């Protein structure tokens, strides 16, 4: 049993839904509301209202539409992360455009979900992201890596510092392919906790804050053997 499941038995994951399409927002709120271990603590129809509401209810996870009036989802993502740094953000979109994807990751989002995903997929995304993992489909992971490669250029970065071990590089490659901790554990025949420890070590060594940032850094530094 994972740590998130144990926590979920006692405290539900608090979710805020921000989307300007009322029918979609209400439907998502109702469907998530009956999911075990998930509590919807608020909903908002634009980026400004969503940012204000996030500040007052301090959600664990925010489902945030990419394209909204008044303040875009990307701008709201930045503002919410500044106001509630602990909140994990999943961007919702009808498009899988690479530019959107890159901007979402750069703005601090932990996940990226297409709006035609099933409610089971949305609920699973909420649980995965609340557990500190990133959520991105393998097909979108490929696009993300392609985007990073094309924009790869010399930047003022921290020195690479301590080199990653072979096992850490192996874990990082699987993260870059869109795998979650459970899938990585199964692939490498190790426990989920061991995978978590490897990811933590990778972030500490590279002085980064998220799995997605680690992938971006690794592509720029040519640490990944990805064609």
Specify the fold of 3-135.
Rossmann fold (3.40.50)
Model confidence pLDDT, tens digit, residues 53-70: 999 999 999 999 988 877
HEC letters along 38-51:
EEEEEEECCHHHHH
Specify the fold of 145-220.
Arc Repressor Mutant, subunit A (1.10.10)
Torsion region of 14: left, alpha or beta (phi above 0 gives left; psi -120 to 50 gives alpha): beta
Q: Where are the domains of the chain?
A: 3-135, 145-220
> Measuring CA to CA, how many Å separate 155 from each of 149, 209, 221?
13, 18, 11
pTM for the model: 0.70
pLDDT at 5: 43
Cβ neighbour number for residue 77 with a 10 Å cutoff: 29
Q: Are 211 and 134 in contact (CB under 8 A)?
A: yes
Model confidence pLDDT, tens digit, residues 150-202: 655 554 444 454 578 889 989 988 888 778 888 999 999 999 999 999 998 98
What is the distance in angstroms between the CA of the first residue and the CA of the last residue of the chain?
35
């Amino acid at each position: 049993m994972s740590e998130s499941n144990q926590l979920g038995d006692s405290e539900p994951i608090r979710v805020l839904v921000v989307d300007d399409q009322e029918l979609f927002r209400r439907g998502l709120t109702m469907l998530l509301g009956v999911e075990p271990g998930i509590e919807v603590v608020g909903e908002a129809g634009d980026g400004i209202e969503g940012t204000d509401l996030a500040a007052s209810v301090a959600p664990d996870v925010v489902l945030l539409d990419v394209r909204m009036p008044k303040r875009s989802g990307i701008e709201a993502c930045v503002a919410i992360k500044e106001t509630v740094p602990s909140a994990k953000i999943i961007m919702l979109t009808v498009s899988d455009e690479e530019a959107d994807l890159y901007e979402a990751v750069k703005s601090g989002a932990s996940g990226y979900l297409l709006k035609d995903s099933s409610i089971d997929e949305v609920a699973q995304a909420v649980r995965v992201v609340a557990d500190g993992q990133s959520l991105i489909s393998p097909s979108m992971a490929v696009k993300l890596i392609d985007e990073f490669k094309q924009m790869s250029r010399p930047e003022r970065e921290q020195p690479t510092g301590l080199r990653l071990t072979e096992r850490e590089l192996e874990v990082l490659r699987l993260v870059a392919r869109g795998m979650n901790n459970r899938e990585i554990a199964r692939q490498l025949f190790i426990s989920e906790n061991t995978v978590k420890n490897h990811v933590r070590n990778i972030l500490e060594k590279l002085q980064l804050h998220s799995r997605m940032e680690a992938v971006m850094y690794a592509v720029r530094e040519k640490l990944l053997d990805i064609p």
